[in-house]
A and B are shown apart, each in its own frame.
Chain A
Amino acid sequence: MTNWIDIGELNDIPRQGARVVKTALGCVAVFRTVEDQVFALEDRCPHKGGPLSEGIVHGSKVTCPLHNWVFEMNTGQAQGADEGSVPTYATRVEGGRILLDAQMLQNRSAA
Chain B
Amino acid sequence: MTQKIVVIGAGMASGRMLEHLFEAGADVDVTLFNAEPRGNYNRIMLSPVLSGEKTYEQIVTHDDDWYAANKVTSRFGERVVSIDRDRKVVIGENGEVPYDQLVIGTGSNPFIIPLPGKDLDGVIAYRDLEDTHRMMEVGSTPGSKAVVIGGGLLGLEAAAGLQMRGCDVTVVHIMGHLMERQLDEAAGYLLRKALVQRGIKVLCSTNSKEILGEDGKVRALLLDNGTELPCDLLVMAVGIRPNIAVGQAAGLDCGRAIKVDDQMRTSDPSIFAVGECVEHNGNLFGLVAPLYDQAKVLAATLMGQEAAFQPREVSTKLKVTGCDLFSAGDFADKDGREDIVFRDPARGVYKRLVLENNKLVGAVMYGDTADGNWFFGLIKDGSDVSEMRDTLIFGPAFQGGSSDPLSAVAALPADAEICGCNGVCKGKIVDAINAGANTVDAIRATTKASASCGTCTGLVEQVLAVTLGDDFVMPTAQPMCKCTDHTHEDVRRLIKSQALKSMPAVFQELAWKTKDGCHSCRPALNYYLLADWPLEYVDDPQSRFINERKHANIQKDGTFSVVPRMWGGMTTSDELRAIADVVDKFKVPTVHVTGGQRIDLLGVRGEDLPAVWSDLNKAGMVSGHAYSKGLRTVKTCVGRDHCRFGTQDSSGLGIQLEKALWGSWTPHKVKLAVSGCPRNCAEATCKDIGVICVDSGYEIGIAGAAGMDVKETEQFHKATSEEEVLEWVQAVMQLYRENAKYLDRIYKWVNKVGLDWVKEQVSDEATRKALVERFAISQTVYQKDPWAEHVEKEQARYTPIATLNLEAAE
User: Residue A34 contacts which of B185, B550, B803 (CB distance < 8 angstroms)?
Assistant: B185
B132-190 residues at the A interface, CB under 8 angstroms: 176, 180, 184-185
CA distance A25 to B556 in the complex (A): 20
The 7 A-B pairs with the shortest beta carbon distances in the complex, nearest first, are A60-B333, A74-B335, A19-B801, A63-B519, A16-B542, A56-B519, A54-B546
Name 17 A/B residue pairs within 8 A (Cβ), A-sorted. A7-B802, A13-B801, A16-B516, A20-B800, A21-B802, A22-B800, A34-B184, A54-B554, A56-B518, A56-B519, A56-B522, A59-B339, A59-B515, A74-B335, A74-B336, A102-B804, A105-B804
Is there an interface contact between B806 and A25, defined as CB atoms closer than 8 Å?
Answer: yes
CB distance from B182 to the nearest CB of A (A): 11
Is there an interface contact between B176 and A21, defined as CB atoms closer than 8 Å?
Answer: no
User: Residue A7 contacts which of B517, B545, B799, B801 (CB distance < 8 angstroms)?
Assistant: B801
A-binding residues in B (CB < 8 A): 176, 180, 184-185, 331-336, 339, 514-519, 522-523, 541-546, 549-550, 554, 556-558, 606, 796, 799-807, 809-810
User: Residue A48 contacts which of B333, B336, B518, B556 (CB distance < 8 angstroms)?
Assistant: B556
CA distance A26 to B359 in the complex (A): 39
A27-65 residues at the B interface, CB under 8 angstroms: 27, 30, 33-37, 48-51, 54-61, 63, 65
User: Residue A49 contacts which of B544, B557, B802, B810 (CB distance < 8 angstroms)?
Assistant: B557
Is there an interface contact between A22 and B802, defined as CB atoms closer than 8 Å?
Answer: yes
User: Residue A60 contacts which of B334, B800, B801 (CB distance < 8 angstroms)?
Assistant: B334
Given contacts A35-B184, A75-B335, is CB(A19)–CB(B546) below 8 Å? no
CA distance A104 to B437 in the complex (A): 64
CA distance A72 to B807 in the complex (A): 30
CA distance A22 to B334 in the complex (A): 26
B-binding residues in A (CB < 8 A): 3, 5, 7-8, 12-17, 19-25, 27, 30, 33-37, 48-51, 54-61, 63, 65-66, 68, 70, 72, 74-75, 77, 98, 102, 105-106, 109
- A106: B residues at CB distance < 8 A: 806, 809-810
CA distance A57 to B718 in the complex (A): 47
- A37: B residues at CB distance < 8 A: 332-333
- A22: B residues at CB distance < 8 A: 800, 802-804
Beyond the given A20-B800, A56-B543, A68-B519, could you list 12 further A-B residue pairs with CB under 8 A, ordered by the A residue number?
A: A5-B804, A16-B516, A19-B801, A22-B803, A34-B184, A49-B558, A51-B606, A55-B546, A58-B522, A59-B515, A65-B546, A102-B804
Q: Chain B residue with minimal CB distance to A33?
A: B333
Is there an interface contact between B796 and A12, defined as CB atoms closer than 8 Å?
Answer: yes
CA distance A3 to B515 in the complex (A): 34
CB distance from B186 to the nearest CB of A (A): 10
CB distance from A108 to the nearest CB of B (A): 10
CB distance from A57 to the nearest CB of B (A): 7
Given contacts A66-B554, A102-B806, A102-B809, is CB(A35)–CB(B331) below 8 Å? yes
- B557: A residues at CB distance < 8 A: 49
Is there an interface contact between A59 and B516, defined as CB atoms closer than 8 Å?
Answer: yes
- B804: A residues at CB distance < 8 A: 5, 7, 21-23, 102, 105
Max count, chain B CB within 10 A of own CB: residue among A17, A60, A65: A65
CA distance A65 to B546 in the complex (A): 7
- A77: B residues at CB distance < 8 A: 335
- B180: A residues at CB distance < 8 A: 35-36
- B809: A residues at CB distance < 8 A: 3, 5, 102, 106
Q: Chain B residue with minimal CB distance to A88?
A: B335
Is there an interface contact between B516 and A58, defined as CB atoms closer than 8 Å?
Answer: yes
Given contacts A56-B543, A58-B514, A58-B516, is CB(A24)–CB(B805) below 8 Å? yes
CB distance from A101 to the nearest CB of B (A): 11
Is there an interface contact between B334 and A55, defined as CB atoms closer than 8 Å?
Answer: no
Given contacts A56-B542, A58-B518, A65-B554, is CB(A8)–CB(B802) below 8 Å? yes
CB distance from A63 to the nearest CB of B (A): 4
Is there an interface contact between B545 and A65, defined as CB atoms closer than 8 Å?
Answer: yes
- A16: B residues at CB distance < 8 A: 516, 542-543
CA distance A24 to B333 in the complex (A): 31
Is there an interface contact between B801 and A21, defined as CB atoms closer than 8 Å?
Answer: yes
CB distance from A50 to the nearest CB of B (A): 7
- A25: B residues at CB distance < 8 A: 806
User: Residue B800 contacts which of A19, A68, A70 (CB distance < 8 angstroms)?
Assistant: A19
- B333: A residues at CB distance < 8 A: 33, 35, 37, 59-60, 74
User: Residue B516 contacts which of A24, A34, A68 (CB distance < 8 angstroms)?
Assistant: A34
- A3: B residues at CB distance < 8 A: 809
- A72: B residues at CB distance < 8 A: 335
- A17: B residues at CB distance < 8 A: 541-542
Is there an interface contact between A14 and B803, defined as CB atoms closer than 8 Å?
Answer: no
Max count, chain A CB within 10 A of own CB: residue among B515, B558, B796, B810: B558
CB distance from B540 to the nearest CB of A (A): 8
- B606: A residues at CB distance < 8 A: 51
- B544: A residues at CB distance < 8 A: 56
CA distance A17 to B184 in the complex (A): 17
Q: Chain A residue with minimal CB distance to B518?
A: A58
Q: Chain B residue with minimal CB distance to A13?
A: B801
Is there an interface contact between A54 and B550, defined as CB atoms closer than 8 Å?
Answer: yes
Given contacts A49-B558, A75-B335, is CB(A30)–CB(B515) below 8 Å? no
CA distance A31 to B397 in the complex (A): 40
Is there an interface contact between A8 and B801, defined as CB atoms closer than 8 Å?
Answer: yes
Is there an interface contact between B522 and A21, defined as CB atoms closer than 8 Å?
Answer: no
- A7: B residues at CB distance < 8 A: 801-802, 804
CB distance from B807 to the nearest CB of A (A): 8
Given contacts A21-B804, A105-B804, is CB(A58)–CB(B519) below 8 Å? yes
CA distance A102 to B9 in the complex (A): 43
CB distance from B533 to the nearest CB of A (A): 20
CA distance A99 to B514 in the complex (A): 29
Is there an interface contact between B543 and A23, defined as CB atoms closer than 8 Å?
Answer: no
CA distance A50 to B555 in the complex (A): 9
Given contacts A34-B185, A59-B516, A66-B554, is CB(A105)–CB(B800) below 8 Å? no
Is there an interface contact between B806 and A74, defined as CB atoms closer than 8 Å?
Answer: no
CB distance from B805 to the nearest CB of A (A): 7
- B516: A residues at CB distance < 8 A: 16, 34, 58-59
CB distance from A97 to the nearest CB of B (A): 11
Q: Chain A residue with minimal CB distance to B559?
A: A51
CA distance A8 to B802 in the complex (A): 7
- A27: B residues at CB distance < 8 A: 800
Is there an interface contact between B802 and A58, defined as CB atoms closer than 8 Å?
Answer: no
- B558: A residues at CB distance < 8 A: 49-51, 54
Max count, chain B CB within 10 A of own CB: residue among A5, A14, A56: A56
- B543: A residues at CB distance < 8 A: 16, 56
CA distance A37 to B332 in the complex (A): 7
- A23: B residues at CB distance < 8 A: 803-804, 806
CA distance A102 to B807 in the complex (A): 11
CA distance A23 to B809 in the complex (A): 11
Q: Chain B residue with minimal CB distance to A3?
A: B809
Q: Chain B residue with minimal CB distance to A21?
A: B802
CA distance A25 to B523 in the complex (A): 33
- A65: B residues at CB distance < 8 A: 545-546, 554
- B550: A residues at CB distance < 8 A: 54
- A55: B residues at CB distance < 8 A: 519, 546
- B522: A residues at CB distance < 8 A: 56, 58
